[in-house]
Each structure stands twice: as C-alpha cells, then as structure tokens.
Amino acid sequence: MTGGVVAVSCSSGHTFSKENREQIQLLTGLGVEGDAHLGRTVQHLSRVAKDPAQPNLRQIHLIHSELHDELLAADFAITPGQMGENITTRGLDLLTLPAGTILHIGESAMVKITGLRNPCAQLDGLQSGLMQATLGRDEQGNLIRKAGVMGIVEAEGTVSPGDSIRAVLPQAPHRPLEPV
C-alpha cells in the first residue's frame, strides 16, 4: 500500500489550523519539530488538564486529501493544514489501516498509527456544519470518523510534499483504529 505527501503543516502555537511549510522535521518519540504538540507526554490542552503525564499518542496528525475532495463536493472549501493536520496524504486509505501500521515517509521518517482523530466542535469554527460532515455511518449504522489518524514518530526524518508513503501492516490479528 502506497501513497504520497500532498502538503506538510506545522504551528508553534495551540492554533486549530497549521501553516503549510516546504518541509517538516519529525523527531523520534516527540513529533514535529516546532509544533505545539511536540512531546513525549500529551500536549493537547484538554488532555493536559486531565492528566499531563499520559503518553502522547497524538504526536502527529495525518489527513487524506480525498476527504478534502469529499468535503468540497458538499460545499466545504478546506485546504491542507486547516483541520490541524501535519501531513496531508493522497492515495492511501488511512482510515482502514489497522492500529500499529508503520508509515514509511520519504527517505527515513517512520510514523506508527495509534488511532483515529475524533472530530471536535472546533471544526465548526472553520465552517458551520463541518464537524458533522466529517462523520458518517457504515451499513450497520456504526459511526465513521473521517478526520484523519494520529500517530507517534518511530524514526526521524524530513518530510516534504511529493514524498512517497509506504504502509507496512502489523502482524495479525489486526486491531481496528479507535479514537485516541
């Protein structure tokens, strides 16, 4: 399973959206250099308030650009980085990958997928109704969260638009992604 990097984004402040960059540097066990969510322990403000010592399973956020296409068809004009992602991908179905999948990105970076991003009400601050647009239901009525995946950096490296992504699945049995 392969795909590519469309855009990379980073923000040193706890802003919802992140600025597009020419490249980002992933740091092993920490996240994106210069990003507000960099750290071994949780950095998301709401989670820090609950337990600042919990491990940071959300060091890096990836969204598939196919979601942007889907949202555009529903009259939501979203660009890379606006939904807070660090890496915008294309050609790789992130949401169907099992927990523990390793993404080899560019020449040396590796990210282990830890779970799904749970869409939050801040999405409606970008455009009214956006949060609901990032949710769906499968044939059995189960909730589908479309707002991307979260991960931890397993190996450092520079990531730039145009880099390739190769997914390596963990050993079976596979665990489906759950919100982290």
For residue 53, how many other CB atoms are within 10 A of its CB?
Answer: 7
Q: What is the second-level CATH architecture of the domain 2-168?
A: Beta Barrel (2.40)
User: Rounded to two decimals, what is the model's pTM?
Assistant: 0.96
Each residue's pLDDT expressed in tens, for the chain with a length of 180 residues = 899 999 999 999 999 899 999 999 999 999 999 999 999 999 877 887 888 899 999 999 999 999 999 999 999 999 999 999 999 999 999 999 999 999 999 999 999 999 999 998 899 999 999 999 999 999 999 999 999 999 999 999 999 999 999 999 999 999 999 999
Number of residues that this document lists for the chain: 180
List % helix, strand, coil for the chain (3-state, nearest 5): 15, 35, 50
Peptide bond into 98 cis (omega under 30): no
Q: Is 85 exposed, middle or buried (0-12, 13-18, 19+ CB in 10 A)?
A: buried
